[in-house]
């Protein structure tokens, strides 16, 4: 009888050790889901169109005529400095926790289009990763890398 009470006590103690960590894990997941919805909603209301233009302009600066035609078709502004200033203004309107997610979305859209050669897409990603720092909004880069799938 004493040994069965001891075993039950051990099992209850083990159960109590794991229940709080499971609850904490579920709470974290809920927070991340909320954060993703918040960023998605914010991106619906705040366009990063100037950031798209700035990134695209830099990526299409090449001697190949088809990219110059594509650049013209996109209606990109003539001055990259102006694009950068406008982009920085748009990024300032986005919560800090959502900026990299918004830039990652721009990169993913561009990668899906498949219009850029691999080398140009790499430049596109690098510029996107550095944008918050270029705008003096952060002292670190966004990690956007697509795992080389571009």
| Each residue's pLDDT expressed in tens, for the chain with a length of 150 residues | 566 665 565 554 554 455 444 444 444 433 444 556 778 787 777 789 999 999 988 655 543 444 444 454 455 545 778 899 999 999 999 999 999 999 999 999 999 999 999 999 999 999 999 999 999 998 888 999 776 555
Residue 1's pLDDT is: 59
Give the domain CATH number at 75: 1.10.110.10
Residues 58 and 117 in one domain: yes
- List strand residue ranges (DSSP E) for the chain, in order: none
Q: What pLDDT does 10 receive?
A: 59
List C-alpha distances in Å: 65 to 31, 81, 96, 120, 128.
48, 23, 38, 14, 24
Distance CA 66, CA 84 (A): 24
The domain containing residue 70 runs over which residues?
47-150
38 lies in the same domain as 68: no
Q: According to the model, what pLDDT value does residue 101 have?
A: 94
Distances (CA, A) of 96 to 24, 91, 92, 140: 25, 8, 8, 12
Are residues 33 and 76 both part of a single domain?
no
pLDDT of residue 46: 76
Question: Do 71 and 145 fall within a single domain?
Answer: yes
Task: Indicate if 21 and 88 belong to the same structural domain.
Answer: no
Residues 96 and 114 occupy one common structural domain: yes
Which pLDDT belongs to residue 105? 94
- In the block, residue with structure tokens 């909004």: 137
> Does 135 lie in the same domain as 67?
yes
Cβ(101)–Cβ(39) below 8 Å: yes
pTM: 0.62
- Which residue, chain included where needed, has tokens 């959502």? 98
Element holding 18 (H helix, E strand): helix 2-45
Domain count, the chain: 2
């Amino acid at each position: 009888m004493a040994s069965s009470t001891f075993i039950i006590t051990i099992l209850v103690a083990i159960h109590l050790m794991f229940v709080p960590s499971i609850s904490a894990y579920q709470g974290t997941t809920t927070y991340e889901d909320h954060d993703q919805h918040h960023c998605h909603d914010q991106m619906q209301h705040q366009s990063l169109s100037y950031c798209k233009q700035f990134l695209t302009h830099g990526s299409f600066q090449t001697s190949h005529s088809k990219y110059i035609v594509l650049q013209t078709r996109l209606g990109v502004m003539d001055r990259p400095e102006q694009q950068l200033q406008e982009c920085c203004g748009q990024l300032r309107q986005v919560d800090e926790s959502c900026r990299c997610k918004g830039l990652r979305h721009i990169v993913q859209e561009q990668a899906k289009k498949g219009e850029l050669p691999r080398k140009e897409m790499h430049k596109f990603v690098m510029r996107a990763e550095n944008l918050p720092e270029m705008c003096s909004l952060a002292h670190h880069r966004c990690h956007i890398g697509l795992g080389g799938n571009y």
